[in-house]
Structure 1
Amino acid sequence: MPEILEELTGPVDGVIMLPRHLDWGPKRSYRLDQIADARLLYMRVIRESATPADLRQFLNAAMLRRLWPELVLPPPVRALWIARFPELQRQAA
Protein backbone atom coordinates (compact mmCIF):
# COMPACT_ATOMS: atom_id res chain seq x y z
CA MET A 1 0.00 0.00 0.00
CA PRO A 2 1.34 3.47 -0.76
CA GLU A 3 2.27 5.86 2.03
CA ILE A 4 0.15 8.67 0.55
CA LEU A 5 -2.54 8.66 -2.14
CA GLU A 6 -0.52 11.04 -4.30
CA GLU A 7 1.89 8.15 -4.98
CA LEU A 8 -0.88 6.73 -7.18
CA THR A 9 0.06 8.33 -10.48
CA GLY A 10 -1.41 5.82 -12.91
CA PRO A 11 -3.27 6.78 -16.07
CA VAL A 12 -6.60 8.60 -16.15
CA ASP A 13 -7.53 7.80 -19.74
CA GLY A 14 -6.89 5.29 -22.46
CA VAL A 15 -7.07 1.52 -22.52
CA ILE A 16 -5.21 -0.37 -19.80
CA MET A 17 -4.14 -4.00 -20.15
CA LEU A 18 -3.62 -5.61 -16.76
CA PRO A 19 -0.90 -8.24 -16.39
CA ARG A 20 -1.90 -11.83 -15.65
CA HIS A 21 -0.89 -11.61 -11.99
CA LEU A 22 -3.63 -8.99 -11.50
CA ASP A 23 -6.28 -10.30 -13.89
CA TRP A 24 -6.23 -13.85 -15.20
CA GLY A 25 -9.63 -13.64 -16.92
CA PRO A 26 -10.26 -13.48 -20.66
CA LYS A 27 -10.93 -9.70 -20.63
CA ARG A 28 -7.83 -7.99 -19.25
CA SER A 29 -8.19 -4.64 -21.01
CA TYR A 30 -10.17 -1.76 -19.54
CA ARG A 31 -11.25 1.56 -21.04
CA LEU A 32 -10.87 4.25 -18.42
CA ASP A 33 -13.42 6.47 -20.19
CA GLN A 34 -16.06 3.80 -19.47
CA ILE A 35 -17.10 4.11 -15.81
CA ALA A 36 -17.95 0.40 -15.48
CA ASP A 37 -14.54 -0.59 -16.86
CA ALA A 38 -12.75 1.91 -14.62
CA ARG A 39 -14.56 0.60 -11.51
CA LEU A 40 -13.77 -3.00 -12.40
CA LEU A 41 -10.10 -2.22 -13.01
CA TYR A 42 -9.79 -0.38 -9.68
CA MET A 43 -11.53 -3.17 -7.77
CA ARG A 44 -9.28 -5.80 -9.35
CA VAL A 45 -6.04 -3.89 -8.80
CA ILE A 46 -6.90 -3.08 -5.18
CA ARG A 47 -7.87 -6.68 -4.42
CA GLU A 48 -5.14 -8.47 -6.35
CA SER A 49 -2.04 -6.27 -6.15
CA ALA A 50 0.83 -7.80 -4.24
CA THR A 51 3.10 -4.77 -4.29
CA PRO A 52 2.79 -0.99 -3.99
CA ALA A 53 4.36 -0.82 -7.47
CA ASP A 54 1.19 -2.35 -8.98
CA LEU A 55 -0.95 0.20 -7.18
CA ARG A 56 1.24 3.12 -8.29
CA GLN A 57 1.30 1.90 -11.89
CA PHE A 58 -2.41 1.30 -12.42
CA LEU A 59 -4.25 3.56 -9.96
CA ASN A 60 -4.55 7.34 -9.98
CA ALA A 61 -5.27 9.22 -6.75
CA ALA A 62 -7.85 11.60 -8.24
CA MET A 63 -9.69 8.81 -10.03
CA LEU A 64 -9.61 6.63 -6.90
CA ARG A 65 -11.23 9.43 -4.90
CA ARG A 66 -13.99 9.75 -7.52
CA LEU A 67 -14.61 6.01 -7.80
CA TRP A 68 -14.19 5.04 -4.13
CA PRO A 69 -17.87 5.32 -3.10
CA GLU A 70 -18.84 2.93 -5.93
CA LEU A 71 -16.14 0.29 -5.48
CA VAL A 72 -17.34 -3.06 -4.17
CA LEU A 73 -14.51 -4.35 -2.01
CA PRO A 74 -14.30 -6.99 0.71
CA PRO A 75 -14.94 -5.26 4.07
CA PRO A 76 -11.43 -6.01 5.42
CA VAL A 77 -9.84 -4.49 2.30
CA ARG A 78 -12.04 -1.38 2.45
CA ALA A 79 -11.29 -1.00 6.18
CA LEU A 80 -7.54 -1.27 5.57
CA TRP A 81 -7.63 1.46 2.92
CA ILE A 82 -9.81 3.74 5.05
CA ALA A 83 -7.51 3.24 8.05
CA ARG A 84 -4.55 4.36 5.92
CA PHE A 85 -6.44 7.08 4.01
CA PRO A 86 -9.30 8.50 6.13
CA GLU A 87 -10.10 11.00 3.37
CA LEU A 88 -11.59 8.10 1.39
CA GLN A 89 -14.22 7.60 4.10
CA ARG A 90 -15.07 11.30 3.99
CA GLN A 91 -15.23 11.07 0.20
CA ALA A 92 -17.82 8.28 0.45
CA ALA A 93 -20.02 10.24 2.86
Structure 2
Amino acid sequence: MPPANDSDLALYRAKYVQRLPGRLEELAGPREGVVALPLHVAWSGLREFRLEMPRQRMGLYRVVLAEGLRDDLCAYLNHELLNAQWPVLRTLISRTVREVWETAFPQLLDAGSSG
Protein backbone atom coordinates (compact mmCIF):
# COMPACT_ATOMS: atom_id res chain seq x y z
CA MET A 1 0.00 0.00 0.00
CA PRO A 2 1.42 3.44 -0.86
CA PRO A 3 2.43 5.85 1.88
CA ALA A 4 -0.33 8.01 3.35
CA ASN A 5 1.45 11.35 3.60
CA ASP A 6 4.67 13.22 2.80
CA SER A 7 6.39 11.97 5.94
CA ASP A 8 5.52 8.38 5.11
CA LEU A 9 6.65 8.91 1.52
CA ALA A 10 10.03 10.22 2.69
CA LEU A 11 10.53 7.16 4.92
CA TYR A 12 9.44 4.84 2.11
CA ARG A 13 11.86 6.52 -0.29
CA ALA A 14 14.72 6.41 2.26
CA LYS A 15 14.16 2.66 2.67
CA TYR A 16 14.84 2.12 -1.03
CA VAL A 17 17.78 4.53 -1.18
CA GLN A 18 19.53 2.65 1.65
CA ARG A 19 19.26 -0.61 -0.29
CA LEU A 20 20.89 0.66 -3.48
CA PRO A 21 24.24 -0.73 -4.59
CA GLY A 22 27.03 1.79 -5.04
CA ARG A 23 27.23 1.02 -8.77
CA LEU A 24 25.01 -0.89 -11.18
CA GLU A 25 27.91 -3.22 -11.92
CA GLU A 26 27.53 -4.59 -8.37
CA LEU A 27 24.37 -6.31 -9.63
CA ALA A 28 26.13 -9.55 -10.45
CA GLY A 29 23.21 -11.96 -10.43
CA PRO A 30 22.70 -14.73 -12.95
CA ARG A 31 21.82 -14.15 -16.59
CA GLU A 32 20.28 -17.60 -17.13
CA GLY A 33 18.89 -20.56 -15.27
CA VAL A 34 16.41 -20.74 -12.40
CA VAL A 35 16.52 -18.30 -9.51
CA ALA A 36 14.90 -19.33 -6.22
CA LEU A 37 14.22 -16.36 -3.94
CA PRO A 38 14.39 -16.69 -0.16
CA LEU A 39 11.25 -16.22 1.92
CA HIS A 40 12.29 -12.78 3.18
CA VAL A 41 12.11 -11.53 -0.42
CA ALA A 42 9.19 -13.56 -1.83
CA TRP A 43 6.96 -14.66 1.01
CA SER A 44 3.90 -15.39 -1.15
CA GLY A 45 3.31 -16.41 -4.72
CA LEU A 46 6.00 -17.53 -7.12
CA ARG A 47 9.45 -18.01 -5.58
CA GLU A 48 11.30 -19.67 -8.48
CA PHE A 49 11.84 -17.85 -11.75
CA ARG A 50 13.26 -19.08 -15.07
CA LEU A 51 15.40 -16.31 -16.48
CA GLU A 52 14.96 -17.55 -20.05
CA MET A 53 11.23 -16.79 -19.78
CA PRO A 54 10.72 -13.02 -20.20
CA ARG A 55 7.61 -12.77 -18.00
CA GLN A 56 9.22 -14.75 -15.20
CA ARG A 57 12.42 -12.70 -15.48
CA MET A 58 10.40 -9.48 -15.29
CA GLY A 59 8.50 -10.87 -12.30
CA LEU A 60 11.75 -11.70 -10.52
CA TYR A 61 13.10 -8.19 -11.07
CA ARG A 62 9.85 -6.59 -9.86
CA VAL A 63 9.87 -8.63 -6.64
CA VAL A 64 13.56 -8.10 -5.90
CA LEU A 65 13.42 -4.35 -6.59
CA ALA A 66 10.42 -3.99 -4.28
CA GLU A 67 11.39 -6.36 -1.47
CA GLY A 68 15.08 -7.19 -1.70
CA LEU A 69 17.78 -5.87 0.58
CA ARG A 70 21.09 -4.63 -0.84
CA ASP A 71 22.65 -8.11 -0.76
CA ASP A 72 19.58 -9.53 -2.52
CA LEU A 73 19.76 -6.89 -5.24
CA CYS A 74 23.40 -7.76 -5.90
CA ALA A 75 22.84 -11.54 -5.75
CA TYR A 76 19.67 -11.86 -7.84
CA LEU A 77 19.77 -8.95 -10.31
CA ASN A 78 22.17 -8.62 -13.21
CA HIS A 79 23.09 -5.10 -14.32
CA GLU A 80 23.01 -5.99 -18.03
CA LEU A 81 19.57 -7.58 -17.77
CA LEU A 82 18.33 -4.67 -15.67
CA ASN A 83 19.46 -2.19 -18.33
CA ALA A 84 17.88 -4.24 -21.11
CA GLN A 85 14.55 -4.59 -19.28
CA TRP A 86 14.38 -1.11 -17.76
CA PRO A 87 12.20 0.56 -20.42
CA VAL A 88 9.37 -1.89 -19.66
CA LEU A 89 10.27 -2.73 -16.07
CA ARG A 90 10.08 0.95 -15.02
CA THR A 91 6.37 0.91 -15.93
CA LEU A 92 5.69 -2.12 -13.72
CA ILE A 93 7.26 -0.94 -10.46
CA SER A 94 6.12 1.70 -8.01
CA ARG A 95 6.82 5.35 -8.76
CA THR A 96 8.98 5.59 -5.64
CA VAL A 97 11.19 2.64 -6.60
CA ARG A 98 11.48 3.94 -10.18
CA GLU A 99 12.44 7.46 -9.05
CA VAL A 100 15.01 6.19 -6.54
CA TRP A 101 16.72 3.98 -9.14
CA GLU A 102 16.61 6.55 -11.93
CA THR A 103 17.94 9.30 -9.66
CA ALA A 104 20.82 7.11 -8.48
CA PHE A 105 21.52 5.62 -11.90
CA PRO A 106 20.56 8.08 -14.67
CA GLN A 107 22.06 5.70 -17.23
CA LEU A 108 18.91 3.61 -16.81
CA LEU A 109 17.00 6.39 -18.53
CA ASP A 110 19.30 6.00 -21.54
CA ALA A 111 18.74 2.22 -21.66
CA GLY A 112 15.63 2.49 -23.83
CA SER A 113 17.12 4.95 -26.29
CA SER A 114 20.39 3.09 -26.89
CA GLY A 115 18.92 -0.14 -28.21
Report TM bin, short chain.
over 0.9
- 1:81 to partner: Cα distance: 0.1
Q: Superposition pairs for residues 34-73 of structure 1, below 5 Å?
A: 34-49=53-68, 51-71=69-89, 72-73=92-93
- 1:70 to partner: Cα distance: 1.2
TM-score computed with the length of structure 1 as normaliser:
0.94
SS of equivalent to 2:49: strand
- 1:13 to partner: Cα distance: 0.3
Report the Cα distance in structure 1 between the residues aligned to 2:44 and 2:96, rounded to whole angstroms: 24
Report the Cα distance in structure 1 between the residues aligned to 2:103 and 2:45, rounded to whole angstroms: 33
SS of equivalent to 1:22: coil
Report the Cα distance in structure 2 between the residues aligned to 1:26 and 1:20, rounded to whole angstroms: 10
Instruction: Report % sequence identity.
Output: 37
Amino acid at match of 1:78: R
Report the Cα distance in structure 2 between the residues aligned to 1:73 and 1:27, rounded to whole angstroms: 17
CA displacement, residues 37-63 of structure 1 (integer Å, 9 cap, x when unaligned):
0000001000001x2111000000000
- Per the alignment, residue 22 of structure 1 pairs with 41
- 1:27 to partner: Cα distance: 2.1
Q: Superposition pairs for residues 73-92 of structure 1, below 5 Å?
A: 73-92=93-112
The reply to whether residue 7 of structure 1 matches residue 26 of structure 2 is yes
SS of equivalent to 2:96: helix
SS of equivalent to 1:47: helix
Moved over 2 A (4+): none
Structure with larger RCO (C-alpha < 8 A, sep 6+): 1
Structure 1 unmatched ranges of 5 or more:
none
Give the number of aligned pairs.
Answer: 92
